[in-house]
Amino acid sequence: MAPGAVAMASVAAATTWRLVLLLLLSIAGLGAADGPRPPNILLLLMDDMGWGDLGVNGEPSRETPNLDRMAAEGTIFPNFYSANPLCSPSRAALLTGRLPIRSGFYTTNGRARNAYTPQEIVGGIPDDELLLPELLKGAGYVSKIVGKWHLGHRPQFHPLKHGFDEWFGSPNCHFGPYDNRARPNIPVYRDWEMVGRYYEEFPIDVKTGEANLTQVYLQEALDFIKRQQAAQHPFFLYWAIDATHAPVYASRPFLGTSQRGRYGDAVREIDDSVGKILGLLQNLRIAENTFVFFTSDNGAALISAPKQGGSNGPFLCGKQTTFEGGVREPAIAWWPGRIPAGQVSHQLGSVMDLFTTGLSLAGLAPPSDRAIDGLDLLPAVLRGRLTDRPIFYYRGDTLMAVTLGQYKAHFWTWTNSWEEFRQGVDFCPGQNVSGVTTHTQEEHTKLPLIFHLGRDPGERYPLSFASTEYLDVLRGITPVVQQHQKALVPGQPQLNVCNQAVMNWAPPGCEKLGKCLTPPESIPEKCFWPH
């Protein structure tokens, strides 16, 4: 059989298997129709919001009263992590419960190269990945995404092809404005219909920061909750807004109201919106049947700070790095009457856990035919039971670090290249740590740099290689990493190359690059993304 025919047969078989699995899940859900209604699930995912942006985490302006009250009424996770220091891979991990390298959300165009899904990227979420909303259908859930999708632009990657019933938002962030000649402004969709573009039908004034998008996204959330409550459907709402991603924006009533400038204005409007969402749940008397989780996709983008970026608190560096500032996130769980108020959970958590926890809430088991990295957080939040587990940190195809217990081991250190740094791109402004925040890729696979995050959350004082503590930790971490690497099966890389056919635009010299899987050594550096 010809290679093309083999590939087509493989795709057809995978599609058939997927439909059979989802049908079985739906039948299983029908069998539970007479049982108790499962709780609603509401995930509030912020964009580039830092651990230190919340008052409850020590932000001195104390401008997040609703989020702080959410924490007081629920459980806060001070040790909660993204699955990647960049947006697209982290979001893929949240919705699949799997490390991005398993689902193909990485690039092989260079060691430790971060990658995401701008308009010209060909790839996206593979069809054989099972997303949380697809599986929740088995328990009768209606699902909606509001805001940023970021798992691919092409029709086969559309959210409604991957389990969501409704969508209002964009396949990308609100980058721009563009001139619609070299490249188009980014579209906004309602379900399958494009209803406009950023900077056009959905204006953003880059000069003043004024935009009404957060209010639009808020209304979408409120309307969806009201409709599902009226219909008596359990619902999954994924509220993935992007006001805190540069260029940051806020609506007119919030502009100029923060002690922190425009970024703080955006945070204040988000906080107000969260308060309105939680208030609606209480007014509809469904708060006690709704699990709400607030977090962010990666750390604050310090390259945009201080005017357009947030705070990572005491942690080192920011977005795009696997130091704590790039991957440790604010995290709050809220479920009145079920989650004890005012609790602090020291469970080592990850955005991937929201996949497994969501399934557990719905009474569903995770898929057994694939590796699932997410942990069910319900034992931690409901009963205070902690589970030992490692957290692995990748940049692209490279395992950079691992956390186990209180210790974090770095196998590679790198911020960004000297070339970028000399051009003013700084992922760690004011935080140079000799031998740690390196601008060349430094390998430590034989003798990793190890930090005790309890004593040294800022990763400034690596343990002495000669100390008994170092040797004991290394003996504990080594077999965990070896087992992980031995069992790992990377997915086909989805984020390798740009292609003019995707959006009728390509960088000069890249126009003929029509295949996502072009060998990286044959791709000019200027065609990689991000540049």
Interval 441-481: pLDDT, tens: 999 999 999 999 999 999 999 999 999 999 999 999 999 99
The closest alpha carbon to 173, from 273, 86, 93, 44, belongs to: 86
Peptide bond into 530 cis (omega under 30): yes
Per the CB < 8 A criterion, the answer to whether 450 and 468 are in contact is no
Reply yes or no on whether 150 is catalytic: yes
- Assigned token pair, 414: 């790198």
Q: Per the annotation, does 87 bind a ligand?
A: yes
Reply yes or no on whether 531 is catalytic: no
pLDDT > 70? residue 34: no
**Beta bridge partners of residue 450, listed in sequence order:** 409
Q: Per the annotation, does 48 bind a ligand?
A: yes
Choosing from 150, 245, 410, 439, the catalytic residue is 150
Q: Can you tell me the mean pLDDT for 202-208?
A: 97
The reported pLDDT for the residue numbered 122 is 84
Cα 144 to Cα 8, 26, 241, 512: the distances in Å are 31, 18, 13, 37
| DSSP-derived secondary structure letter, 44 | E
**Rounded CA separation 98/351 (Å):** 10
Q: Per the annotation, does 223 bind a ligand?
A: no
The closest alpha carbon to 106, from 489, 522, 531, 492, belongs to: 492
Helix pair 65-73, 262-283: axis angle to 10 deg: 50
pLDDT > 50? residue 407: yes
Name the pLDDT band for 224 (thresholds 50, 70, 90).
Answer: very high
pLDDT > 70? residue 504: no
Which CATH class, in words, describes the domain spanning 402-487?
alpha beta
List, in order, residues 6 or more apart from 213 with CB less than 8 Å away.
174, 202, 204, 241, 242, 243, 249
Q: Per the annotation, does 298 bind a ligand?
A: yes
Q: Can you tell me the mean pLDDT for 50-64?
A: 98
Look at the pTM and tell me if it is higher than 0.85. yes
**In degrees rounded to 5, what are phi and psi of residue 112?**
60, 30
Peptide bond into 177 cis (omega under 30): yes
- Assigned token pair, 422: 């000399």
What's the start-to-end Cα distance of the chain, in Å? 40
Per the CB < 8 A criterion, the answer to whether 125 and 103 are in contact is yes
- The string over 217-250, giving b where at least 16 C-beta atoms fall within 10 Å of a residue's C-beta and e elsewhere, is bbebbeebbeebbeeeebbbbbbbbbbbbbbbbb
Domain 40-389 = CATH 3.40.50.1100: no
Name the pLDDT band for 4 (thresholds 50, 70, 90).
Answer: very low
Compute the C-alpha angle 105/402/440, nearest 5°: 75
- Per domain, the residue ranges of the chain are 40-389, 402-487
Q: How many Cα atoms occupy the beta-carbon half-sphere of 474 within 13 Å?
A: 19
**Rounded CA separation 409/400 (Å):** 9
pLDDT, one tens digit per residue, over 328-375 is 999 999 999 999 999 999 999 999 999 999 999 999 999 999 999 999
In terms of Cβ atoms closer than 10 Å to its own Cβ (0-12, 13-18, 19+), residue 422 is exposed
